[in-house]
Amino acid sequence: MVKLAYNANGTGFPIVFLHGFCEDKSIWFPFVEPLLPHHQIICIDLPNFGQSPAMPDATVEKMADSVVVTLDSLGVEKCILVGHSLGGYVGLAIAEFYPERLFGMVMFHSTAFEDSPERKQNRHKAMNNIRQNGVDVFVRALIPSLFAPAQKQDNHIRTVINNLIESAKNLPPENVIAAVESMLNRKERTEVLKRVSFPFLFLVGKEDAAVPLEASLAQCFLPQNSVVYILADVGHMGMIEAPQEFAKAIFNFINYCR
């Protein structure tokens, strides 16, 4: 486990944001500003992304340990955790091994189920694609696919997609492959959802191709205490596709957990 790069601002009730695959902590910056007057906002770079160290043998569990080490260094004993996609997988590992550290958790376009056989096959194809063609070609196909079709007609969204591609295209191939492998090998954590007592918020994109609506809804009834917010006309990037709805859901959940 290693200490990770982070951006921490504000004081008060701590909210921790974990980004998704081929992203970094800066994905959250435009959306957390309204929370700063009353909360400590901590955005963390997961291993292999942003300014955090490379982790060639990355697993979801090792990433979770590193997030906890980072929170320890900041003196954060307990928080609400918002995990987007890969960040949600890491968050569930924290929920399993460090449940006492969480007031609540947001599963944001993420799932407790392991990959289906077809999804695992696609992960292997992705790794081979990166080895053969590089990260640039890979992310130019991946990132637009994360947005709902109607969203991609918007000029602002197209600009954001291009910016995300530019940010991700120079990632070291070995880092991206290690991250894909960590997702491929993660275990199912539906039992964690059933066992923990703190609240969950499930933020679901109705047009999410990466985590389909049916798969998201199948996990929502498992926790003892859960809130479900379905974002219409949204794919896998709800903070960008529906920023006001995202902010409203987060605000309401924070108040619910306190």
* Residue 135 maps to a domain: no
Residue 167 lies in a domain: no
Alpha carbons 160 and 31: distance in angstroms, whole number: 14
Within the chain, which residues score under 50 in pLDDT?
Answer: none
Domain contains 145: no
Helix (H, G, I), strand (E, B) or coil at 25: helix
Show the tokens assigned to 46.
Answer: 């997961």
Residue 50 forms part of a structural domain: yes
Residue 160 domain-assigned?
no
Can you give the pLDDT at residue 91? Answer: 98
Q: Residue 220 falls within a domain, yes or no?
A: yes
Helical residues (DSSP H) of 56-210, grouped into ranges: 60-73, 86-97, 117-145, 155-168, 173-184, 190-195
What's the rounded Cα separation, in Å, for the pair 61 and 173? 21
Contacts of 122 (CB under 8 A, 6+ apart): none
pTM (whole model) above 0.85: yes
Please state, as a whole number, how many other Cβ atoms lie within 10 Å of the Cβ of residue 146. Answer: 24
Write out the two tokens for 201.
């918020």
Alpha-carbon distance of 67 to 213, in angstroms, equals 28
Residue owning tokens 């197209």: 158
Q: In angstroms, rounded to a whole number, what is the distance separating the alpha carbons of residues 255 and 258?
A: 5
The pLDDT of residue 191 is 97
Q: Could you tell me if residue 173 is inside a domain?
A: no
Domain that holds residue 57: 6-115+188-257
Direct distance between the N- and C-terminal alpha carbons of the chain, in angstroms, rounded to an integer: 30
Report how far residue 5's alpha carbon sits from residue 40's, in angstroms, rounded to the nearest whole number. Answer: 16
- How would you class 74 by CB atoms within 10 Å of its CB: exposed for 0-12, middle for 13-18, buried for 19 or more? middle
> Measured between alpha carbons, how far is 208 from 35 in angstroms, rounded to an integer?
26
For the stretch 96-133, pLDDT in tens is: 999 999 999 999 999 999 999 999 999 999 999 999 99
Q: Which CATH number belongs to the domain containing residue 99 in this structure?
A: 3.40.50.1820
Chain-centre distance for alpha carbon 219: 17
Residue 172, in any domain of the structure: no
Q: How many domains does the chain have?
A: 1
